[in-house]
Amino acid sequence: MRGLVLALFLWGLGLAQASIFYLPLDDRPPNWAPCTWGLVACPPKEAYRGPLGADLQALRVWLLAAPGERLVASLDALAYGGLLQSRHLPLAPEDALARLGPLLSWRVRQGGELLLFGVVPRWDATWRQRNLAVLQALTSWARLPGVYLEAVWDDALRNSPAPKEAKALSYPSRPGADEAGQVLLLRALRPGLKVAVVYEEEALEGRTTPYEGLPLRDTVTGVLQSALAQRVSLEEGPDLVLYVYGGRNPRRATQDLLRLMPRFPVALADLSRVNRGDAGLMAYLEGLGLYPRLAAYAAWGTPANNLGSALAQGGLFLRDRQGRLGRLAEAYFAYWWGEVGRPWMRARFPEPLSVEAQRVAALWPYLELEGYRVDLEDLRFPWERSFEAEVRLELVALSPGLAGRVRLTW
């Protein structure tokens, strides 16, 4: 506890420089990553405690000391302590709503804009009806000036009630969860981004993708609307092209990228598999030197996860070369973890994982991004499972004209 108090004090010393504040869903990599990008102010890392859930008192203290222009916040973090806790924590709806009160207090006190997201629970959540009752009770919040509220649904398998339940709410909803914070940060920091969407093949638009429960075109539309992005055609000169890859033909997709990338920044969302990318496509990207030139890449999660991450990171780092390379390094680790690291781990180590499991780091390949070598400096498993890994990567300059070393945490 003393360490958390000290962290809160040290964090508070830098408040005056921040204008955008971000309260993540939890401290798993996709949710916590924006806190390491230098764009926003976040609660101290110590306020999040992995599978134990967030320290709610610490999050409330943080909110009281956050004088910013905008706050992007997860409702589930503040009400329940995180996504996993929201599924099984016994708590009355009125108590959950009371825990969200500090958000409105922040809005009144600071006069800033609130951008909030709540999760429509998946099929196996013990407290599904409680969570839905809380989301329904927040309808009045969506009508308040300076408040944007949306619901994202989590892992909707076939016949899941979540899509129907989400659409019954009176405010915007779409598939996704772990990318929602990134997408709302794009809305907060770069609203109106002009985006052209290009599919690997036309038929992909109508495909009902895993964990979404609706045609892909609707998922894409929902993500763009969450980001407050403006959809345009290629002829209208987009700021960013979102290329949607479905896994049918990596060679043809590579040819598309070769045509698009000299003209536009391209963010690539690989939807070929859930939680894993397409090794065939990555081989083309690496072999032709295309991967380091992408605006963004994502293959770590569900289709909505990958679409949202690719869009958000591509938009947020359009004019920041080093930031873009940092995000590509993180995205490559996530690809490598799904393709190599996680399968290797699951074949050798039971969960909860021991320190011995860190030996997987020896498999990390040589990766170079526009004059930087990407080293894997540290790898840990704070959730004690192989599904995700927390890593520290380092960009090491290979020539004197580049910044020497850049450390990244994902």
What would the pLDDT profile of 282-324 be if each residue is shown by its tens digit? 999 999 999 999 999 999 999 999 999 999 999 999 999 999 9
pLDDT confidence of residue 368: 96
Q: What is the pLDDT of residue 17?
A: 52
pLDDT (0 to 100) of residue 11: 45
Euclidean distance between CA atoms 260 and 157, whole angstroms: 34
**Residue-level pLDDT at 408:** 73
Amino acid at 355: V
Whether the full predicted model's pTM is greater than 0.85, yes or no, is yes
- Can you tell me the mean pLDDT for 325-330? 98
Best CA proximity match to 341, nearest among 376, 298, 292, 368: 376
Under the banding of pLDDT at 50, 70 and 90, the label for residue 8 is very low
Whether residue 352 is preceded by a cis peptide bond, meaning omega within 30 degrees of 0, is: yes
The per-type count for the chain, helices as H runs and strands as E runs, is 16, 14
DSSP secondary structure, 280-297, as one string: HHHHHHHHTT-GGG-SEE
Neighbours of 5 (CB within 10 A): 13
Amino acid 301: pLDDT:
97
Pairing assessment for the beta strands 194-199 and 240-245 based on DSSP bridges: parallel
Residues sharing a CB contact under 8 Å with residue 156, sequence separation 6 or more, in sequence order: 122, 123, 162, 163, 175, 211, 212, 213
Question: What are the angstrom distances between the C-alpha of 248 and each of 200, 281, 307?
Answer: 8, 10, 17
Residue pLDDT, tens place only, 91-125 = 999 999 999 999 999 999 999 999 999 999 999 99
The pLDDT, as a whole number, for residue 37 is 96
Sign of the CA dihedral with 39 first, then 42, 46, and 51 last = negative
* DSSP assignments along 39-50, one per residue: SSB---GGG--G
% of the chain exceeding 70 in pLDDT? 94
DSSP output for 216-227: HHHHHHHHHHHT
Extract the tokens encoding 249: 């033909």
Mind listing the pLDDT tens digit for each residue in 246-284? 999 999 999 999 999 999 999 999 999 999 999 999 999
- 18 pLDDT above the threshold of 70: no
- Return the pLDDT at 9: 45
Instruction: Over range 144-170, report the average pLDDT.
Output: 93
**By mean pLDDT, which of 74-88, 205-219, 389-403 is the weakest?**
389-403
Looking at residue 404, what is its pLDDT?
66
pLDDT of residue 385: 95
DSSP 134-197: HHHHGGGGGGSTTEEEEEEE----TT-SHHHHHHTSSS-EEE-STTHHHHHHHHHHSTT-EEEE
